[in-house]
Structure 1
Amino acid sequence: MAEKESMYWLGDWRRIPICTFFKDARLVFKADSLGREILSIALPAAMALTADPIASLVDTAFIGQIGPVELAAVGVSIALFNQISRIAIFPLVSVTTSFVAEEDTLNEACPLVEKSKCLEEAPIMADEIKELMPRKDTGGNDQILDLVGIDFKVEHKRKHIPSASSALVIGGIIGLIQTMFLISAAKPLLNYMGVTSDSPMLSPAQNYLILRSLGAPAVLLSLAMQGIFRGFKDTKTPLYATLAGDVTNIALDPLFIFVFRLGVSGAAIAHVISQYLISVILLWSLVKKVDLIPPSIKHLQFDRFLKNGFLLLIRVIAVTFCVTLSASLAARQGPTSMAAFQVCLQIWLAVSLLADGLAVAGQAILAGAFANKDYEKAKATASRVIQLGLVLGLALAFILGTGLHFGVKLFTEDVNVLHLIRIGIPFVAATQPLNTLAFVFDGINFGASDFAYSAISLVVVAIVSIICLLILSSAGGFVGIWIALTIYMGLRAFVGFLRIGTGSGAWELLRS
C-alpha cells in the first residue's frame, strides 16, 4: 500500500508543469528520433543565423583598420539598421514559420490519403486496360502496367501554402517602405542615436546607412523566405544561400574598401550585393517547391498575418528599443565607448544567435505537433530544447570567458577601445546562459502560437529594463550599460520560464 502511494505521489509530482524542465534530462544528448530531428533543424539554422552577424564582425574588423571614428560610425549605423529591420523582420519570420509549419502538417495528410487510394486502385485500372488491349504483345501490357504505376508514384506537384505567398508580398512591401524611410530620415535618426551635426561620426555613418538601406527589400524578402523554409523544417537551404552571400560580402569588402578606396561606403555596397544574392538563391529554390502565385487574392492570409504580426510587432518594438537605447547611450559617451560597445554587442548577438537555432527547431516541431494535437511530442520537444539550451549557454559562457581575451585585437588596435572591450567581455560571457534560455523560451512559446503573452510580457520587461538602462548608464557609464543589459536578458528568460513553469495559457496541457 505504501509503495502504491509513493508511486502515485511520484506520478502526481511529475505532472507539475515546472517538472517539464527536468523531464528525461538524462536523455538530453540521446540521438533518438526527436534528438535527430531537433539537430537537423537547429544546426543549419544556427549556422545561418550566425553567418550574417559574423559577416558584420568581418565588416567591423576591416573598418576598424581605417580608424576608430569610422568604426564607431559604422557601429551606430549597423545598430540602427539592424534594429529597424528587426521591427519588420521578427514578426514576419516568426509568424511565417508557425503558419507554414501548421499548413504543411495539415496538408500532408490529404495528398497521402489520396495517393494511397490511387496506388490501391492502380492494379485494378491496369487490369481493365489489359482487357481492352490485344494479348499478342505481353511485354506491351506489362509496359502499360508499369506506366500506370509510375504515373501514380512519381507525380509531384508544388505545394500550395497560402502563408508563403502572403509572407513574400508583405516582406516586399515592408522592405520598400523601410528603404524610403531610412534614406529620408537618416540624419534625424543618427542624431537620435547621439551622432550630432558636429560629430566626426556623422558623415561616414550617414553614407553607410543610406547605402545599406538600399538592401532592405532583399533583407526582408530573404528572411521571409527563410521563415517559409523553416516552416518546412528545411534549414539547410537558407544556410547554403546565406553562406554564399556572406562569402561574397567578405570577398568584396577589401576590394571596395581598400582597392577602390570607398571606405565605409564600400563596406555597405558589398553588404547590399550579398543580400540580393541571398534573395535570388532562396527564391530560385522556393519556386521549385511552392506555388507562389495564389488562385486569387482571397487565398492570401493578410488578416491572420496582421493580427498575430501586430502582437509580435509590439513585442519587437519593446525589445528593439532596449538594444537601440543601449547603443545610443554608448554613443553619447563618445567614439571610444561606442567603438568598444559595437564590438562587444556584435559578439554578444552573434554568439547568442546560436541558441536561436534551437528556438527555430522548437518552434517548427511544436507548431506541427500542436496542429496534429500530438501533445506528448509537444511536451517532449519543449523539455529537450530547454535542456539543450541551458547546456549550450553554459558552454558558450566558458568558451567566451576563456578565449575572447586573445581575439579582441582583430577588431582594433586602439588601446583605449581595447581596454573597454576587455571590461565588457565578462558581461558578454556571463549572460550567455540567460540569452540562450530567453531565445529558446521564445521559440517554444511561438510554436504554441502564444503570441499575446509573448508581446505583453516583453513590454513589461522593456519598461523595467529601460529604467535600469537610464539609471545605470548615468551612474556607471559603459559598465552600467552592460549591467542593465544583463538585467534585461535575465527578465526575458524569467518571463519565458514563468509561462511554461506554471502551465498556463497554451501550456495547460502540462498539467494533464
Structure 2
Amino acid sequence: MQIALPTALALTADPIASLIDTAFIGHIGPVELAAVGVSIAVFNQVSKIAIFPLVSVTTSFVAEEDATKSLSIEADDSGVLEMGYAVNQEMELEDLVPQVESTCKSSLIPSSYRKTDVRRQIPSASAALVIGSVLGIIQALFLIFAAKPILNYMGVESNSPMLKPAQQYLTLRSLGAPAVLLSLAMQGVFRGFKDTKTPLFAILVGDVANIILDPIFIFILRMGVSGAAIAHVISQYLISLMLLWRLIKEVDLLPPSINDLQIGRFLKNGSMLLVRVIAVTFCVTIAASLAARQGSTSMAAFQVCLQIWLATSLLADGLAVAGQVGLVLGLVLSAVLVVVLQFAPRLFTADVNVLQLIGVGIPFVAVTQPINALAFIFDGINYGASDFAYSAYSMVLVSLMSILCLFILSSSHGFIGLWIALSIYMSLRTFAGFWRIGTGMGPWRFLRD
C-alpha cells in the first residue's frame, strides 16, 4: 500500500485537474463546456498513445537496471569481505571495513554504476527523458497544426459554435505536451526506484497551482477557455521542473555513451503496449466523437460523466495493479458515487438540459466501477506474467466489438446508448483478462497441472 496508494493518487491527479477545469468552464456556458470536452478528449487520447508504453517500459527497465546493479555491488562487497578474512582471519572488523570500502569504490564497482556525488547512473532513465522530450515536441506540433481537421473529424463542424473555443483550448494546451510527456517519463523513473511519493508531491503542487490559476485567468483576467488552458500548461511545466530538479540529485543523467541509451530496446518492448493503447484510445475517442455529433448539450454532459469515470477508474487502476484490492475499491467507489453524484452535477453546470443528461449517465458511471476494477486487476496480472502480446491482440478485438456497439447503440438510443456501449466495452475487457488466466493458456499453462 505504501507503493500503491501514492501511485493511485498520482494517476488520478491529472483527470481530477481536468475535472476542475471542467467545473470552472461549465460556469462560462454549455457551448464552452462541450468545446473543452472535445479538446480534452483529443489531447488525452493522443497523449495516451505515447504515455502508457513510455511510463510502463521506463518503470520496468529502470527497476531492472537499478536492482541488477545494486545486487552486483552487494556481491562485490561480499567477495571482498571473504577475501579479507582469508588473508588474515584475526583482522578486526573495524580495520577491514575501510579497506572494503576503498576497494569497492575503485575497481570492483562497474564503471557504469559508480556514483558521482551519491548519484546513480541509470542509462534507462536518460533514454526515457530523451524519448519523452522528443515525443512531447512531436505531439505538440501535431496538435497545433492539425487542431481544426482533428476537431472536424471529432464532429465539431466548421459552422459549429464549439469550433472556435475548442480550437483555442486545444492549441494552447498542446504547448504543454512536452512537459506532460517529460514529467510522465520521470514518474516512470521514480517508480522504478520504488519512489512513488516524490511524483505524488510534485503533481499535487502542480494541481494546486492549476486550481489557483484557473479562476484568475478565466474570470478575473476574462480569458475564458484560453485562460483554463494556460493555467493547465503552467501547472504541467511546474510539475516537470520539480521532478527534474529532484531527479538530477539522484541520477547522473549523462550516460557514458549513446549506445548505453538502448533506444532500440525501448521501442521494441513498447510496440506491443503501443498497439494496445491505440486500441483503447480509438474506442474512447470514437465515443467522444459520437457524443459531439449529437450536439453541444450531449457533449457537455458526456464530458462531465467521462471525466468522473476516468478519475475514479484510474484510482482503481493504480491500486489494482499493485495491491490487488481493486474489487473492494470498485464496490466502495460505486456506493460513494451513487450518493455523491446526486448532488455534484451542479458544480459543473447550471444548464437544465445538460444536468438532465448527466443524470442519465451517472448510474452507468457508478455501476461500472466494480467491472472497471476487475478489468484492471486482470490487466495487472497479465502484465506481471509479461503476457503483452495477448494483452495487445485481445484489446484490439475487444475495441473492434465495442466500436461496433457504439455506432449501433448511439444511433438507436442516443446518449444512453453511448454509456451502454462503454459498459459493454469494460465488461469485455474484464472477460478477456479472466479468460486467459481461467483457461490456463499462455504463461498460465501451469495452472492446468
TM-score, normalised by the number of residues in structure 1 = 0.81
Comparing 460-469 with 448-457, greater Cα deviation is found at: 448-457
The counterpart of 1:226, out of the listed 187, 206, 211, is: 187
Summarize the Cα distance change of 1:128–1:283 in structure 2 as closer, same or farther, 3 Å threshold.
farther
* Cα gap change, 1:503 to 1:166, in 2 (>3 Å): farther
Letter of the 1:109 counterpart: L
- The answer to whether the 8 Å contact 1:45/1:360 transfers is no
Q: CA 1:291–1:501 in structure 2 vs 1: closer, same or farther (change >3 Å)?
A: farther
Question: Which of 286, 302, 310 lines up with 1:349 in the alignment?
Answer: 310
How far, CA to CA, are the matches of 1:272 and 1:124 in structure 2? Answer: 62
1:173 aligns with 2:134: yes
Alignment gaps of 5+ in structure 1: 1-38, 131-141, 362-384
Match of 1:471 among 396, 405, 408: 408
- Who is 1:403 aligned against? 340
- Tell me which residue corresponds to 1:161: 122
Question: 2-side partners of 1:194 and 1:247: how far apart?
Answer: 33
CA distance in 2, matches of 1:414, 1:449: 48
What SS does the aligned partner of 1:40 have?
coil
Q: Secondary structure at the match of 1:298?
A: helix
Question: Which residue does the alignment assign to 1:97?
Answer: 59
Given candidates 192, 200, 203, the residue that maps to 2:164 is: 203
Write the distance in 2 (CA, Å) between the matches of 1:87 and 1:229.
Answer: 21
Which letter does structure 2 place at the counterpart of 1:181?
Answer: F
Q: 1:325 aligns with which of 286, 306, 319?
A: 286
Distance 1:464-1:487 versus aligned 2 partners, 3 A rule: same
For 1:287, what is the secondary structure of its paired residue? helix
Q: How does 1:270-419 map to 2 (within 5 A)?
A: 270-361=231-322, 385-386=323-324, 388-419=325-356
SS of residue in 2 equivalent to 1:288: helix
TM-score (norm 2): 0.92
Deviations 1:229-280 (A, max 9, x none): 2222211111011101111111111111111111110110010011111111
The answer (yes or no) to whether the contact 1:126–1:148 under 8 Å persists in 2 is no
Using a 3 Å threshold, how does the CA distance of structure 1 residues 302 and 359 change in structure 2: closer, same or farther?
farther
Match of 1:184 in 2: 145
Identify the residue that residue 450 of structure 1 maps to in structure 2. Answer: 387
Q: Provide structure 2 residue ranges, at least 5 long, that are not aligned to the other structure.
A: 106-113
Q: 1:109 matched to which residue of 2?
A: 71
What's the counterpart of residue 17 of structure 2?
A: 55
Mapped pair 1:426 → 2:363? yes
Q: Measure how far apart 1:152 and its partner are.
A: 7.9
Distance 1:78 1:501, change over 3 A: same
CA distance in 1, matches of 2:446, 2:133: 38
The answer to which of 175-184 and 146-155 deviates more is 146-155
CA 295–126 in structure 1, closer or farther in 2 if over 3 Å, else same: farther
The 2-side partners of 1:122 and 1:266 are apart by 67
Q: CA deviation at 1:283?
A: 1.3
The answer on whether the counterparts of 2:206 and 2:235 sit within 8 Å (CA) in structure 1 is yes
Paired position in structure 2 for 1:247: 208
TM superposition shift of 1:460: 0.3
**Bigger radius of gyration, 1 or 2?**
1
Give 3-state SS (helix, strand or coil) of 2:283's partner.
Answer: helix
Amino acid at match of 2:264: D
User: Is the contact between residue 76 and residue 104 of structure 2 (CA under 8 Å) also seen in structure 1?
Assistant: no
Q: Identity percentage over the alignment?
A: 70
**Could you tell me how far 1:391 is from its partner in structure 2?**
1.1
Question: Is residue 291–residue 302 contact of structure 2 (8 Å, CA) maintained in 1?
Answer: yes
How far did 1:186 drift?
0.2
In 2, the alpha carbon distance for the partners of 1:284 and 1:438 equals 36
Query: What per-residue deviation string (whole Å, max 9, x for no partner) do you get for residues 465-496 of structure 1?
Result: 00000000000000000000000000111111
Counterpart for residue 441 of structure 1: 378
Q: Is the 8 A contact 2:346 2:355 kept in 1?
A: yes
Quote how far apart the aligned CAs of 1:58 are.
Answer: 0.8
Give 1:162 deviation, angstroms. 2.7
d(CA) in 1 for partners of 2:138, 2:268 = 20
> How many residues get paired?
438
Question: Offset of 1:214 from its aligned partner?
Answer: 0.4
Contact 2:202/2:243 (<8 A) preserved:
yes
* Equivalent residues of 2:85, 2:91 under 8 A apart: no
Letter in 1 for 2:418: I
Could you say what secondary structure the match of 1:497 adopts? helix
8 Å contact 1:41–1:357 — kept in the other structure? no
Query: CA, structure 1 residues 122+273, in 2 after alignment: closer, same or farther (shift >3 Å)?
Result: farther
- Distance in 2 (CA, whole Å) between partners of 1:93 and 1:353 is 15
The Cα of 1:168 is off from its aligned counterpart by: 1.3
Of the structure 1 ranges 277-286 and 421-430, higher mean CA displacement relative to structure 2 is found in 277-286
C-alpha RMSD of the superposition: 2.4
Q: Deviations over 1:272-315 (max 9, x none)?
A: 01111111111122222222222111112222221221211111
Q: For 1:126 and 1:50, how far apart are their aligned partners in 2?
A: 58
Report the CA distance between 1:108 and its aligned residue: 2.4
Rounded Cα–Cα distance in structure 1 between residues aligned with 2:289 and 2:150 = 10
